[in-house]
Amino acid sequence: MLFDAHVHLTDREYSGYVPHVITSLRAMEIVACSVTVDTETTLRSFDLFDSCRDVVRQFVGIHPEAAARDDLEKFKDIFQSHAQSIDGIGEIGLDGTYDVPYDRQKQVFNAMLALAESAGKPVSIHSRKALDDVLDILPSYKLKGVLLHWFAGSKKQLARSMDMGLYVSYGPALVYSDDKKVLLKNTDRERFLVETDGPVRYSRCFESLPAISSSFLVSVVASSARVLGISYEDAVNLLERNSKSYLGRA
């Protein structure tokens, strides 16, 4: 079983062929951790995936880009009323590049972490240009599983993340990026996951098509196996153990 640790299946890019995506996930034995970015995509997730719990894990959250426009209290009410459908909290976090007040981002991020703590759910975190702040905030909460999705920090930040017992994930850029390969080599083997971050398009691989778990993930796993010097089968088994541990399903 493979796990796509971070994908946006509620994105409008997938509109019209979600049933095909679900069929493909089942055929290839892939579980997708589908993240949301605001209240709208969260409600869409419940409509689309409540009947697909075998291959979709529903992560819901307010992305830092939506922090200023989304209604935090409304989101909390929705979270409580759909608690049985929720497998994790994400995509949440901080971003130093957005034109969104940073204090508001921190307010929403802390609120999302508090929800995760109270519900005992894993989190999927966005940390672009804000990783040190994220790492400073996380110890304030007792969290079951923490993923720094699309890890792009330094080796020093990676070492700190490993010391904190966090998970990090790598995506299709691992196919061609030497920097990502170096980071993976320095990652604890029990703490790395793979993702597609679909529907992101990758200009240096996959012909800039929108990412789909069932057509991209195998290449990411194969690349991770080559970087680590292990067989593809061993990489699959390692990633399955890591993913289940992160999701609290070991």
131-179, pLDDT tens digit by residue?
999 999 999 999 999 999 999 999 999 999 999 999 999 999 999 999 9
Rg for the chain (alpha carbons), in Å?
17
Residue 250 has pLDDT above 70, yes or no: no
205-233 pLDDT, tens digit per residue, is 999 999 999 999 999 999 999 999 999 99
**Paired tokens of 32:** 């997708």
The Cα–Cα gap between 123 and 246 comes to: 9
Q: Is the dihedral of CA 10, 38, 2, 250 positive or negative?
A: negative
Residue pair 3/240 in contact by the 8 Å Cβ criterion: yes
What pTM value is reported for the model?
Answer: 0.97
> Mean pLDDT for the chain?
97
Topology of the domain covering 2-247:
TIM Barrel (3.20.20)
* Cα–Cα distance, 66 to 104 (Å, whole number): 10
3-state secondary structure of 53: coil
34-48 tens-digit pLDDT: 999 999 999 999 999
